[in-house]
Chains A and B, each alone.
Chain A
Amino acid sequence: MAKFEPVLTKNFGIEGIRTLDVYRKQGGYKTAEKVIKEQKPEEVVEVVKASGLRGRGGAGFPAGLKWSFLPPDREVTYFCVNADESEPGTFCNRVLMEEDPHQLLEGILIAGFATKTTTAFIYMRVEFHEQFHILQKAVDEAYAAGYFGKNVFGSDYSIDCYIHRGAGAYVCGEETGLIESLEGKRGWPRIKPPFPAIEGAFKRPTVVNNVETLCCVPHIFERGVDWFRGIGTENSKGPKLYTVSGPVNRPGCFEAALGLTARDLIFGDDHGQGMRDGKKVKGCIPGGLSVGVLTEAELDCHLCFDDVRNYGLLGLGTAGAIVIPDDADIRQVLKNIARFYSHESCGQCTQCREGTNWMYKIAARIAAGAGRISDLDLLVDITTNMGMMPGLSICGLPDGAAFPIRTIVQKFRSEFEEHIRNQKPGVVEQVIRKTNPAAYELPILGQRAVSV
């Protein structure tokens, strides 16, 4: 395979690339101009479909196919750019927006043209303060240059672009949750169907795409579909930004063709450059917290849309790897994961609202040194009975909670069992009596709680 040439990150580090002038000198907005002047929206959709571009936000849904679901006779179309990057371990969107904001805007222009968008909203999480100012400045410049607004490039295509800031809710990264939040309501995901393409924001056809997906779009038109299809594996085409964090020598965001192995991401000279302070890898969560965990032996997993499923993971996710070092207490890792989901569950579906909290309580008790072997089975049992995959929930958040907890308990079970066996006798009873004395007044619980 030819040497991979980065495109998404090619402008990174160029002096003043955040300004329109410098971006234009690098050839920016030429592709958008060409596409809008010379092609029809339907052709643009077909090109993106042919390229095999799959959404980079986590689910991996083909972007062109998503756009083709829009009803043909629509008058108003909204475009939501998902910049609510809240998945732990993921920060590639942040890097894209702060290093090269105009690349995103050019992607919005082309994607907006393809979907006949009237207004594009960039839904950005509120913790991105600096990135917000950078991007807003870029939007202002683009407006002043006539790239947004009425009659873009002298055509009859008009598009508005606004930044809408979120307010700190993980679930607003789910596309219908995002739409609800955009409408000024709680970020409660909607029951589908109707899908956003038919009835989304303000009951109009709406497309929701991730920042990175849109950043890929200009390059597809600049370099051609064949170039794009030549990168990556069979079902996963194109470049991808991989991020790695945790105690590695060089945490950061690196561009590579889809299909990089987790081992290469952590130890590769171009990527993470190995572990800090001579630590070893215990495990790795390769795609944002929700996908599940790989053990050290499984690090040769290819991070593309298909191979990860062979290792019991949810999917590629956002390709944000978190490396767990060998000196980390696996019980604390489990507790942290469980707390995240219990905090971020929106509370609509009962089994997610209660289940995530339940798992957190169990994980916290195990971490406090009062676990039971049966707790491990119970955790696995809970994870199989919540979420979209058994068809129980509105959105995918409980699946995102189920996979990391299930895989970490299953793959590190011996370690958990060892911790539990080494607990002091009677500690379970003490902890339960302290935290919930009423449990021991109920005879049935009193009997169950003593067996470790």
Chain B
Amino acid sequence: MAWQALDRTKPVFDKDAPPVLSEALRAKIRSFFPRYETQRAALLPALHVVQDALGHVSHKAMAEIAEVLEIPPSAVLDTLSFYTHYWDHERGSKVVVACRSLSCQLVGAEKVLDACKAELGIDEHGTTEDGKYSLVTEECLAACDHGPCLLINEKLHKCVTPEEVARILKDPKNAEIDPPRSNLFDGPAAAAPAPAIEAVGKTSDIQEMRES
């Protein structure tokens, strides 16, 4: 990623705007606290929760996460900017991740990536105009036996051929998986959840959070 200079003469977000993190999200973040010795350690789970609910982690969201975790906002930006999984700007509702590592390349990942670019009409790190898809490449997805592979949000598409790409991308259910879901979004069910967590919902999944 190229360096991006911020215009320091202007505030990066509007302090007076209404908060972007709902009370349910904040409660969810606080529910991670008992796991770790420091509150900062809940930062990665918190960023996952916020990104899943809001699509990306804006500067305003970062400041609000910092408020919940009681750490400086710069610490949130510092951590977030290190990891490739987090988006600090708008992304499509589905993120197509194409594996570009050696195993996949040797069985034709480049052609699959080209087919994705042609089908979506965007380049790497681009987002389609309707905001439906973003396209990125990533290093090994640890599915080398199924190469070339594409990851669309949570769903891994295995042994993709360039001809299949158009069909996969047109399929409205291309990002859905059906594993045995845990009752709690991200934590052991038996570890006596605090009342605040129950308010988020029993299956407390991302979708439910969005609906509420």
Contact in complex: A169, B188 (CB < 8 Å): no
Q: How far is the CB of A236 from chain B (nearest CB, A)?
A: 23
Cα A168 to Cα B83 in complex, Å, equals: 6
Stretch at the interface among A215-223, A226-234, A239-247: A239-247
* Given A89-B103, A143-B189, A246-B103: A130 touches B154 (CB 8 Å cut-off): yes
Q: A167 in the interface, Cβ–Cβ < 8 Å?
A: yes
Q: A285 in the interface, Cβ–Cβ < 8 Å?
A: yes
Residues in B whose Cβ lies below 8 Å from that of A182: 36, 41, 44
Contact in complex: A245, B184 (CB < 8 Å): no
The 10 closest A-B pairs by CB, nearest first: A143-B190, A184-B43, A245-B144, A167-B83, A168-B85, A129-B154, A186-B82, A133-B179, A167-B85, A88-B140
Q: A115 in the interface, Cβ–Cβ < 8 Å?
A: no
Contact of A137 among B83, B85, B147, B182 (CB under 8 A): B182
Cα A346 to Cα B85 in complex, Å, equals: 15
Contact with A along B168-212 (1 / 0, CB 8 A): 000000000101111110111111000000000000000000000
Interface of B is mostly: loop
20 examples of A-B residue contacts, CB within 8 angstroms: A87-B140, A90-B142, A93-B142, A129-B154, A129-B155, A133-B182, A137-B182, A140-B184, A160-B191, A164-B44, A167-B84, A169-B84, A244-B145, A245-B145, A246-B106, A246-B144, A247-B106, A251-B144, A322-B106, A336-B101
Q: A337 in the interface, Cβ–Cβ < 8 Å?
A: yes
Contact of B102 among A126, A251, A337 (CB under 8 A): A337
Q: B40 in the interface, Cβ–Cβ < 8 Å?
A: yes
Q: How far is the CB of A170 from chain B (nearest CB, A)?
A: 7
Known: A129-B154, A184-B36, A247-B107. 13 other contacts (CB 8 A): A19-B180, A89-B144, A144-B189, A149-B191, A162-B35, A162-B188, A167-B84, A169-B84, A183-B36, A244-B145, A285-B102, A322-B103, A328-B106
Contact of A186 among B45, B48, B78 (CB under 8 A): B78
Interface residues of B (CB under 8 A from A): 35-38, 40-45, 47-48, 69, 78-79, 82-86, 97, 100-103, 105-107, 138-147, 151, 153-156, 177, 179-184, 186-191
Residues in A whose Cβ lies below 8 Å from that of B180: 18-19, 133-134, 137
Q: How far is the CB of B66 from chain A (nearest CB, A)?
A: 11
Residues in B whose Cβ lies below 8 Å from that of A89: 101-103, 140, 144
Q: How far is the CB of B63 from chain A (nearest CB, A)?
A: 16
Residues in B whose Cβ lies below 8 Å from that of A91: 142-145
Residues in A whose Cβ lies below 8 Å from that of B100: 336
Residues in A whose Cβ lies below 8 Å from that of B190: 140, 143-144, 148-149
Q: How far is the CB of A358 from chain B (nearest CB, A)?
A: 18
Residues in B whose Cβ lies below 8 Å from that of A85: 142
Contact in complex: B45, A320 (CB < 8 Å): no
Q: A4 in the interface, Cβ–Cβ < 8 Å?
A: no
Nearest-neighbor residue (CB-CB) of A250 within chain B: B145
Cα A45 to Cα B154 in complex, Å, equals: 39
Contact in complex: A168, B84 (CB < 8 Å): yes
Q: How far is the CB of B141 from chain A (nearest CB, A)?
A: 5
Residues in A whose Cβ lies below 8 Å from that of B36: 182-184, 202
Nearest-neighbor residue (CB-CB) of B37 within chain A: A202
Q: A61 in the interface, Cβ–Cβ < 8 Å?
A: no
Nearest-neighbor residue (CB-CB) of A324 within chain B: B106
Contact in complex: B142, A86 (CB < 8 Å): yes
Residues in A whose Cβ lies below 8 Å from that of B156: 129-130
Residues in A whose Cβ lies below 8 Å from that of B82: 169, 186-187, 346
Interface size class of A (residues with CB under 8 A): 35 or more
Contact of B144 among A119, A164, A181, A322 (CB under 8 A): A322
Nearest-neighbor residue (CB-CB) of B107 within chain A: A247
Q: A289 in the interface, Cβ–Cβ < 8 Å?
A: yes
Q: How far is the CB of B205 from chain A (nearest CB, A)?
A: 10
Residues in B whose Cβ lies below 8 Å from that of A133: 177, 179-182
Q: A264 in the interface, Cβ–Cβ < 8 Å?
A: no
Contact in complex: B40, A183 (CB < 8 Å): yes
Contact with B along A132-150 (1 / 0, CB 8 A): 0110110110011000110
List which A159-201 residues lie within 8 A (CB) of chain B.
160-170, 181-187
Nearest-neighbor residue (CB-CB) of A91 within chain B: B142
* Given A126-B48, A162-B187, A168-B84: A185 touches B142 (CB 8 Å cut-off): no
Residues in B whose Cβ lies below 8 Å from that of A333: 102, 106
Cα A243 to Cα B145 in complex, Å, equals: 8
Contact in complex: B189, A140 (CB < 8 Å): yes
Nearest-neighbor residue (CB-CB) of A128 within chain B: B142
Cα A45 to Cα B60 in complex, Å, equals: 49
* Given A144-B190, A162-B188, A246-B103: A183 touches B38 (CB 8 Å cut-off): yes
Contact in complex: A245, B147 (CB < 8 Å): yes
* Given A144-B189, A162-B188, A186-B78: A181 touches B102 (CB 8 Å cut-off): no
* Given A89-B144, A243-B144: A185 touches B40 (CB 8 Å cut-off): yes
Q: A155 in the interface, Cβ–Cβ < 8 Å?
A: no
Q: How far is the CB of A83 from chain B (nearest CB, A)?
A: 10
Residues in B whose Cβ lies below 8 Å from that of A88: 101-103, 139-140, 144
Contact in complex: B179, A134 (CB < 8 Å): yes
Nearest-neighbor residue (CB-CB) of B139 within chain A: A340
* Given A202-B37, A245-B103, A289-B102: A169 touches B142 (CB 8 Å cut-off): no
Pick the most buried of A133, A333, A346: most chain B CB atoms within 10 A of its CB: A133
Cα A144 to Cα B189 in complex, Å, equals: 7
Q: How far is the CB of B80 from chain A (nearest CB, A)?
A: 8
Cα A252 to Cα B143 in complex, Å, equals: 9
Q: How far is the CB of B147 from chain A (nearest CB, A)?
A: 6
Cα A133 to Cα B206 in complex, Å, equals: 13
